[in-house]
Amino acid sequence: MQTAHPRTDPILGRLKTAATLAELLQRVETSAQCVGASQYRRLVRHLAQLLDSLASDPRLDSLLKAFPAAAALYENAHYNQAGLCRSSLEASLDSELHARAVIAKARVLRSPQPRQSGKED
């Protein structure tokens, strides 16, 4: 049985391309400079396709741990199946508690204030 040479292994090629695009996405996400919307969509679409094609590769997890922007993309693309499966439970719980506190505060601020009925003579 022959094994594929690393340079001709299609999975390794996709993994390297995904790593390069994940690094680029990470740079774009953390940069103060703006990127064109169409360029950003193409980058995200291409990376998402590669990540999907590597779903069964055990090396995908390492790639996603190294590039948080790619991990968020992958998680969002698979949200309907797994929810926020890559987010830590503590971070998810903290986010939910913070959101509830903000909503409660907004409700208090929006509720009509009772009028003071005391007239001075």
Q: Residues 17-36: pLDDT tens digits?
A: 999 999 999 999 999 898 89
Tally of CA atoms within 13 A in the half-sphere of 63 that contains its CB: 28
pTM of the complete model: 0.61
Q: Residues 50-65: pLDDT tens digits?
A: 999 998 888 998 999 9
pLDDT band at 7 (very low <50, low <70, confident <90, very high): low
CA R_g for the chain:
23
Rounded Cα distance between 58 and 43, Å, is 23
pLDDT band at 116 (very low <50, low <70, confident <90, very high): low
